């Protein structure tokens, strides 16, 4: 086929087209723009908590691309697969007695959790560690709640003594993190629960929720974080991270789901408990396919390989003189560095994606399934050259 004039192709998005275009012209532009995106298959992405979905998940996703569980009665099959997904993951995090909800990811789950805490308590104060994800800033702004950040220990977990001092009669919720964004640290959720008593305790396990259970089964000594702890009221985890589901998909589990909802009488579902009305739902059957394809043993092998590569990166970076911020809890590792923004930008010019930490300033790496030892050797060499 002949290549269209590029200026004509760009008119596709400059103005709303008066007439439809040929599919070849449309795909020419699409292919051109997609080539600008970084691709997980390159192995050059070290800063993302997501990875390439399985081929079977992509195929399933396309079959359900029109599903919308915001109007669940029209999608009985999608709804059944959702139920099975929720029950399977519940068995992983001891949440069999909890209610569950599919959300767009950790951000939506965190907002809903604080919404419930506010409505149940009638209070507005939220205690959360300084390592908490920025989504809590969104949540508190939207909900008119007051965040109060608790300092971190030398292991970058919530300081329990300071938490105990800050808990008071105005506290609506306490937040703990199981797999912090910067360092992968795991707050001592069981000890936090001992302090919160009847205060709502939410656990953000968006990343760690699909890592910690499998590492523990493989013999890693990691703290409990989920519903085996009686004081945990809600927990969010993201299948689109280490669950390797297509984005977007998060799962929120709660002991209080039935208390907070909005009536939706003109839809087949009479109540809505999510923030979204219409919900693109293809990622749910895609994740159902993924977890059934891999099974527990498949996830354990995949995550163990990620940890082996994490330690490999740790050793190689030490050889180049980079000091780790802390020993890795999971497949996230960071290194102290005074000029992280400069390094991130210069590495991007060389085709690499890494990210930076703020507390303390440094370089952050997420070792996902697409990362190989060959790519680790290559990136460490470039980092050493630019150091």
In a domain, 41, yes or no: no
In a domain, 150, yes or no: yes
Q: What's the Rg (C-alpha) of the chain?
A: 22
Domain membership of residue 339 as a residue range = 295-386
Which CATH number characterizes residue 97's domain?
3.40.640.10
Q: Looking at residue 15, what is its pLDDT?
A: 77
Q: Looking at residue 71, what is its pLDDT?
A: 83
Q: Looking at residue 128, what is its pLDDT?
A: 98
What mean pLDDT, rounded, does the chain reach?
Answer: 92
Which residues, in sequence order, are CB contacts of 315 under 8 Å at separation 6+?
none
130 in the same domain as 271: yes
221 in the same domain as 136: yes
In this prediction the pTM is: 0.92
Residue 66 above 90 pLDDT? Answer: yes
In a domain, 251, yes or no: yes
171 in the same domain as 103: yes
Looking at 259, 291, 323, which one is the last position of a domain? Answer: 291
Which CATH number characterizes residue 379's domain?
3.90.1150.10
362 in the same domain as 262: no
133 in the same domain as 281: yes
64 in the same domain as 148: yes
Q: Looking at residue 3, what is its pLDDT?
A: 56
Banded pLDDT at 274 (limits 50, 70, 90):
low
226 in the same domain as 141: yes
175 in the same domain as 86: yes
In a domain, 231, yes or no: yes
336 in the same domain as 282: no
What H or E segment, with its residue span, contains residue 235? strand 234-237
Are 112 and 135 a contacting pair, CB within 8 Å? no
Whether the bond between 248 and the residue before it is cis, its omega within 30 degrees of 0, is: yes
The number of domains in the chain is 2
Distance between CA atoms of residues 293 and 290, nearest Å: 5
In a domain, 267, yes or no: yes
Looking at 291, 323, 341, which one is the last position of a domain? Answer: 291
Distance between CA atoms of residues 194 and 321, nearest Å: 41
360 in the same domain as 261: no
Looking at 274, 291, 308, which one is the last position of a domain? Answer: 291
305 in the same domain as 251: no
In a domain, 228, yes or no: yes
């Amino acid at each position: 086929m002949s290549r269209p004039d590029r200026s004509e192709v760009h008119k596709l998005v400059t103005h709303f087209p008066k007439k439809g275009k040929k599919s070849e012209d449309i795909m020419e532009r699409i292919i051109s723009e997609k080539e600008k995106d970084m691709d997980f298959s390159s192995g050059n992405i070290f800063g993302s908590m997501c990875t390439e979905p399985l081929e079977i998940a992509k195929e399933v996703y396309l079959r359900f691309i029109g599903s919308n569980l915001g109007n669940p009665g029209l999608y009985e099959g999608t709804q059944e697969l959702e139920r099975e997904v929720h029950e399977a993951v519940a068995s992983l995090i001891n949440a069999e007695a909890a209610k569950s909800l599919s959300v767009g990811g950790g951000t939506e789950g965190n907002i809903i959790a604080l919404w419930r805490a506010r409505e149940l308590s009638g209070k507005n104060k939220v205690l959360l560690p300084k390592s908490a994800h920025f989504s809590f800033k969104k949540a508190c702004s939207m909900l008119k709640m007051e965040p109060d950040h608790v300092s971190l220990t030398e292991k970058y977990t919530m300081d329990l003594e300071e938490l105990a001092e800050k808990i008071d009669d105005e506290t609506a919720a306490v937040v703990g993190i199981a797999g912090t964004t910067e360092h992968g640290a795991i707050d001592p959720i069981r000890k936090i629960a001992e302090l919160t008593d009847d205060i709502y305790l939410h656990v953000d396990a968006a990343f760690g929720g699909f890592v910690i259970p499998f590492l523990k089964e493989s013999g890693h000594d990691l703290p409990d974080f989920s519903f085996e702890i009686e004081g945990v009221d809600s927990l969010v985890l993201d299948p689109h991270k280490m669950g390797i589901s297509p984005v977007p998909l998060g799962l929120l589990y709660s002991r209080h789901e039935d208390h907070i909802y909005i009536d939706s009488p003109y839809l087949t579902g009479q109540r809505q408990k999510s923030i979204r009305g219409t919900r693109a739902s293809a990622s749910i059957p895609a994740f159902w396919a993924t977890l059934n394809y891999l099974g527990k043993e498949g996830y354990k092998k995949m995550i163990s390989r990620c940890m082996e590569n994490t330690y490999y990166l740790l050793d190689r970076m030490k050889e180049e003189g980079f000091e780790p911020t802390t020993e890795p809890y999971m497949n996230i590792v960071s290194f102290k560095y005074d000029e992280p923004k400069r390094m991130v930008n210069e590495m991007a010019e060389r085709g690499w994606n890494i990210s930076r930490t703020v507390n303390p300033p440094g370089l952050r790496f997420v070792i996902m399934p697409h990362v190989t030892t060959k790519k680790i050797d290559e990136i460490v060499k470039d980092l050493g050259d630019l150091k």
